[in-house]
Structure formats: structure tokens, C-alpha cells
Amino acid sequence: MLEREDGLGRHQTGNNSGVIHAGIYYAPGSLKAELCVRGAARMYAYCESKGIAFEKCGKLIVALEEAELLGLEELQRRGATNGVPGLRRLDASGIREVEPHATGIAALHSPETGIVDFRAVAQAYARDLLEAGGSIVTGCDVRSLEAGARSLSIHHAGGVVEASNAVCCAGAWSDRLAVASGADPDPRIVPFRGAYLQLTPVRRDLVRSLIYPVPDPSLPFLGVHLTKRIDGEVLIGPTALLGTRGLGRTLAWPGSWRMFRRWWRTGLTEIKHAALRRTFVAEAARYLPAIEPGDVTPSFVGFRAQAVARDGSLVDDFVFSRTERALHVRNAPSPGATSSLAIAEMIADEAERAF
């Protein structure tokens, strides 16, 4: 395994909400739906077998207004079709039983949703790889892959490695690596900056588990949510703002401009959330009225590798592609961490067929 950073889990895997999603949101029949439900079951079993701390704390998706009830019903329908176990509908008093400080007119409760530290999971995957006889080289930036008749030349910062085949899982760089190996430039990865706040330790008891809004079905983001972490911290966020890292590259992609034209209103709201802690907290206080600006401090920032198609659409589903002697993970946004073991099984099957 060749990794450009000096350690593992430095990008999305080590800087995310830490939620083991149950599979509620995703369109039935999509790869996300299938791989999330299977991946969550695999993830719980894996953590159990490796002694990695996790908690099935459950999650509420809360409707505040009548207008959101249809969306909530659709989520319940999707969840049931996707095979998510234990989903139940709650009224206002049911919400308070699960989360005494939360408010809303109705909610969907998912008892199977949980939390884990995905950095610890990645470290365990690395140990598995070493135990199976593999090796890991860090500080090794892969630049391109060149397929020959007998082998694949992997050009990296320190030279060239010859391999029979390769699987590329490069997150925010996945499109560049795929294109440098001869793949189609569509879709392009556009980085979105996700900043989090956290509750101060004395206010953590406001949240027992996970509180989410009913998401906008046309966006692949889940909205500002309150998330208990396995270490006890409570996160609020994330924002979803266009990342400025590699902005020139983002602007050179025609799909980015088409996306701006479609989503500029949402973009303005996100800029407001990112710039003004008060409006960000006010958004969270719609679900948790007791929370005030003085109850939060800044937490970490995660960069979401989101694929954007040439026509400007945000690619919702996982995308995998092939070049000669190589497989590429082209779009693995949330719930990619939850789904990782199911994605790995799928890629291993595909590798057996293709190689």
C-alpha cells in the first residue's frame, strides 16, 4: 500500500462525523443503499472482533414543520426498502423520551445507527494488511500508472514500482490518479470544506445520541447535525462550503460552474453558517432550543471529496471505474467509511474477475 502522507487516516477517514450509518437515506437499488446496510453490519462485527470501541447509540431524524413530514415518510419508506432494522416513527413526546432536550413535531428513530472512531478502524485495517504479508509505505505520492504488456508501472515520488495490478483509493485525488492512468475525466472531484463546532464539556449532556434534520433530497449532504462521538465529545456541523484548496482546478471544470448556477442560494446559506458562529448555532438550536453561542467552541475541519459531473450534478452514488490493470474508487463520500468493508468485498470480487 502506497500512501502519500506520513501516516494513515489523515484525510476524510480520520476527519469525519464518526457515524456508522444504518442506510436510511439512500435511493433503493443504489450502491450506497446496498453497501451501507451490509457495511454497517460488517463494521459492527469487525469492531466487536477487534476490540474497537463503538456504541449503537441510535439516531433521530427530526421534522420541525408539517412541510417536512412527507420527507420523513419518504425516508421511512426508503429505510424499510433498504432493509434498515428497527425504524420507528415518533411524535413530539416520543422525541423527548429519546432526547429530552430536543424538539420537533415528529421523528424517525433508527436504533441501529452507531458511532466509532474511523481512524482506529483504519489502523486495524493496516494491521490486518501487515499480518497478511503486505507492506505499507508512507510518504509515497503516486503520480501515474502506466500499463504494459506484462505489468503496471506505478510512478511515485521516489521512483517506480512494478506491479501486476493496482486498486486506487485516493479520496480527493482519485480523479487525478484515474485520469493520469488513462480514465475519463468525468466526474471531477470538487472538495467541500466541512467545519465543525463542539459543545463545551459541561453542556455535553444536552445530547445523548445523534440528532439530524430531514435533509434536502436533492443534495448529497445531510445538513447540520448534532453528533455524539465515541470519546464523549458532541459535534455540531458540518458546514458544506466549497474548498479553496485546488480552487483553480475546481474552476477549470465546466461542471463546477453549472453546479454554482444551480446551488448559489444554498451556497450563500453555507457561507453565512461558516462565517457567523451565531447563525450556525441558531440552526442547531432549532432542534435543541437550550443551546446558545457560548456553549460551543470550534472543532476540526474535514474535506469532503465530492464528485461533480460535467453537467454540474453532484454525483450521489459511489462510483468505481477501470483502467488497464487497475481499479479506481472515483466517488466514495459518506457513508463511505461505514460501507468500507462492503466496498472492499465488492472491489475484491471485481479484481478477481478483471485481473
Residues engaged in binding ligand FAD (CB under 6 A): 2-5, 10-13, 16-19, 21, 141-142, 169-173, 177, 194, 238, 302-305, 329, 332-338
Residue closer to ligand FAD (CB basis): 21 or 273: 21
Residue closer to ligand FAD (CB basis): 94 or 263: 263
Contacts of 216 (CB under 8 A, 6+ apart): 223, 266
Q: And the C-alpha cell for 206?
A: 444536552
Name the nearest CA neighbour of 223 among 104, 110, 334.
334
Q: How many CB atoms lie within 10 A of CB 189?
A: 25
CA distance 175 to 343: 18
Residue closer to ligand FAD (CB basis): 73 or 146: 146
User: Residue 124, Cα to own-chain centre: how many angstroms?
Assistant: 19
Residue 114's beta-bridge partner residues?
20
Query: Cβ of residue 296: shortest distance to ligand FAD, in angstroms?
Result: 17
Q: And the C-alpha cell for 165?
A: 495490478
Q: Which residue is nearest to ligand FAD (CB)?
A: 336
Residue closer to ligand FAD (CB basis): 25 or 106: 25
Name the nearest CA neighbour of 129 among 268, 276, 2, 273.
2
Task: Report DSSP state, residue 314.
Answer: B
Query: Cβ of residue 342: shortest distance to ligand FAD, in angstroms?
Result: 11
Residue closer to ligand FAD (CB basis): 106 or 175: 175
Query: Cβ of residue 348: shortest distance to ligand FAD, in angstroms?
Result: 15
Residue closer to ligand FAD (CB basis): 2 or 108: 2
Name the nearest CA neighbour of 117 among 201, 236, 32, 228.
228
CA distance 32 to 46: 20
The three-state secondary structure class of 254 is helix
Amino acid present at 347: I
Query: Cβ of residue 91: shortest distance to ligand FAD, in angstroms?
Result: 27
Residue closer to ligand FAD (CB basis): 99 or 175: 175
Query: Cβ of residue 70: shortest distance to ligand FAD, in angstroms?
Result: 25
Query: Cβ of residue 161: shortest distance to ligand FAD, in angstroms?
Result: 12
Residue 328 sits at φ, ψ, to 5 deg, of: -130, 130
Q: How many CB atoms lie within 10 A of CB 101?
A: 17
Residue closer to ligand FAD (CB basis): 172 or 314: 172
Residue 319's beta-bridge partner residues?
331
DSSP string, 52-68: --EE---EEEEE-SGGG
Query: Cβ of residue 236: shortest distance to ligand FAD, in angstroms?
Result: 12
Query: Cβ of residue 294: shortest distance to ligand FAD, in angstroms?
Result: 25
